Amino acid sequence: MTTELTTDYLIVGSGAVGMAFADTLVAETEADVVIVDRFAKPGGHWNSAYPFVTLHQPSQFYGVPGRELSKGVIDQVGLNKGMGDLASGAEVLSYFDDVMRHDLLPTGRVRYYPLCDYTGNGGFTHKLTGEQFQVESTKVVDCTYLNTSVPSTHIPNFEVGDGVNFMPLNDLPELTQAPEGYVVIGGGKTGIDAILWLLEQQVDPDRITWIKSRDAWLLNRKNTQPSMEFFEDTLGSQAAQFESIQHAASVEDMFLRLEQSGYFLRLDPDVWPTMFHGATISELELAELRRLRNIVRLGRVQSITTDEIVLDQGTLPTTADHLFIDCSASAITNLEIKPIFEGQLITPQTVRSYQPVFSAAAVAHVEVAYDTDEEKNALCAVVPLPNSNLDYMKLTLAFMTNQYNWGQNPEMRAWLLTNRLDGFSKMVSEVAKDDHAKRDILKRLRESAMPAAIRLTELIAEAEDAT
C-alpha cells in the first residue's frame, strides 16, 4: 500500500542546502512543505563527517537565515585565534536538529521523512519499514544535485593491496597503536585537516608524508570575517581582488598580484598552484603546514602495496607499518551546471561563490518573490564550483555579475540587507559618513569593479585559448 501525500514543495534532501531553502520558504510564505532525506537526522553529509571537522569559514556565514549558528565570539586560542568562531561538526548537526524540531516542524506546514530513499517522480520508500509514499507537489526542489563526497563512504580510485594499513580520515581518532609513519593522500581541505589534526596531537611532522597531486591557491580566513572590526580585511581584500584583476598583464600576473595583495595564500612560494577549490585557512594554519618536509608531488596514486607506492610520475618505498589516510574524496561530485528553475523542478546551486547555504536561501527567496523562470534564472545565474585556476576566474566573473544584478534591483537589495547569511551588505550600510578610511575602501570597490569584470572576461578568453 502506498501513502499519498499532497504538498506545495517537495524538498529532497535535508542537508544544509535543503534546510536553508526550507527555512526561507517557511519564513516568507504560507507554503506547505514535505522534506525527504536518507539520513536519520537533518544535516546531510555532516552525519558522516570525521569527528574533528569544523567549518573553515566563520559560523556567521553558515546555517539557515532564521537561526544563528555562531556563538558570536572571537577565538582566543588555537589556529583560528583572533577570528570568528568555527562550529564543529557536532555543533552543526545539533544546530540543524534544533532548526527542524524547534523552527520548521512547529509551524505545522513542514512534514519531515528521514531514513527514506527518494526514488524519483515524487516517490520515496522508508528504509526501515519499507513503507512507500507518493507525493503530489507543485514544485520539486532537488537539494541532492551537488552531492558531497565524504571520506567515510569514499571508494578510492587506486588499488590498495593486501596487508596495507589503510583507513578513511574518520577512523584516525580510533587508533590504538602508533604507526611507523603517516601518509596522507589528498591535497585538498580534507588532507589539510588531517595534517593539522596530527600536528595538534603532537605527531612529529617528519613522520608525516603528504601526497598531493596538485598544489592549491588558498583563501585567507582573515578576509572572510563578516563584522565591522574586520572591515579593512574583508572589504579591503575585495577591493584588492578587483584591483589585482583590473591591472593584470596576464593570467599569471593576476594570480601573483592576488597573492601579493593578501587575497590568496599558497603552501610553497616555489610551487605554482594549479588547483582552486575555495579552501580557506588561517595564516597560523599555513605556518603549521609549512613544518612538513615530506611532501610528494608525483601526481596521483595508482596503487599501494606493503612495500611500494606507485604514482603517476614515480614510486616511493613504504612499509607495512605505515598508516595510509585516505583524504582523496572530492568535496563535490557534480560540477555540471544546469538551470536552477525549470518549470516544476528547482535545482539549487551556488549563486554566490563559496556560500552554498546563502545561495539556497537566495534561490528560495527568488522562487517566491518573482514570477517567471526567465527572470528567476536571470537573478540566479549559477556561480560554478571551482576545480582549477580557470574556474576561479569563471566563478569570480559570475559572482560579480550576480552582485551587480542584485544591486540594480531594489527588492533584492532590501532582502540582502536583512538576511543573516549575507553579512557584507549590512557591513557596508553601517559605514559612517565621516569614516573616511572605510569610505575609501568602498570607493576603491566601486571604481575597480567594472574594469575588473571587463579584464576578467579578457583573461578567461586568453586562458581558454591557451588550453
- Domains of the chain, first to last: 2-148+332-387 (3.50.50.60), 151-217+266-326 (3.50.50.60), 402-466 (no CATH)
Q: What pLDDT score does 291 carry?
A: 98
The grid coordinates listed for 372 are 517567471
Q: What pLDDT score does 335 carry?
A: 67
Q: What pLDDT score does 332 carry?
A: 59
Q: pLDDT tens digits for the chain (467 residues)?
A: 899 999 999 999 999 999 999 999 999 999 999 999 999 999 999 999 999 999 999 999 899 999 999 999 999 999 999 999 999 999 999 999 999 999 999 999 999 999 999 999 999 999 999 999 999 999 999 999 977 666 667 788 899 999 999 999 999 999 999 999 999 999 999 999 999 999 999 999 999 999 999 999 999 999 999 889 999 999 999 999 999 999 999 999 999 999 999 999 999 999 999 999 999 999 999 999 999 999 999 999 999 999 999 999 999 999 999 999 999 987 655 568 899 999 999 999 999 999 999 999 999 999 999 999 999 999 999 999 999 999 999 999 999 999 999 999 999 999 999 999 997 888 999 999 999 999 999 999 999 999 999 999 999 999 999 88
Is this prediction's pTM over 0.85? Answer: yes
Residue 21 to residue 14: CA distance in whole angstroms: 9
β-pairing, 341-342 with 345-346? antiparallel
Residue 177 to residue 184: CA distance in whole angstroms: 17
Residue 293 to residue 450: CA distance in whole angstroms: 43
* Total count of residues recorded for the chain: 467
Q: 210 forms bridges with which residues in the sheet? A: 184, 295
* Dihedral (CA of 357, 420, 443, 363) sign: positive
Residue 79 to residue 196: CA distance in whole angstroms: 9
Which of these, 28, 31, 97, 19, lies nearest to 359 by C-alpha position?
Answer: 19
Provide the CB-side half-sphere exposure for 354 (13 A, CA): 18
> Cβ of 197: how many Cβ atoms within 10 Å?
18
Residue 168 to residue 48: CA distance in whole angstroms: 11
Q: What pLDDT score does 154 carry?
A: 72
Q: What pLDDT score does 152 carry?
A: 63
Residue 55 to residue 41: CA distance in whole angstroms: 19
Task: Give the amino acid at 430.
Answer: E
Q: CA-CA distances (angstroms) from residue 137 to 8, 33, 131, 134, 361?
A: 5, 9, 19, 10, 20
**Which residues does 451 contact at the CB level (< 8 Å), separation at least 6?**
242, 246
Residue pair 117/60 in contact (Cβ under 8 Å)? The answer is no
**Which residues does 248 contact at the CB level (< 8 Å), separation at least 6?**
254, 257, 455, 459
Coil vs helix vs strand at 27: helix
What is the helix (H) or strand (E) element at residue 287, kind and residue range? Answer: helix 283-289
Task: Give the amino acid at 254.
Answer: M
Q: 300 forms bridges with which residues in the sheet? A: none
Q: What pLDDT score does 61 carry?
A: 87
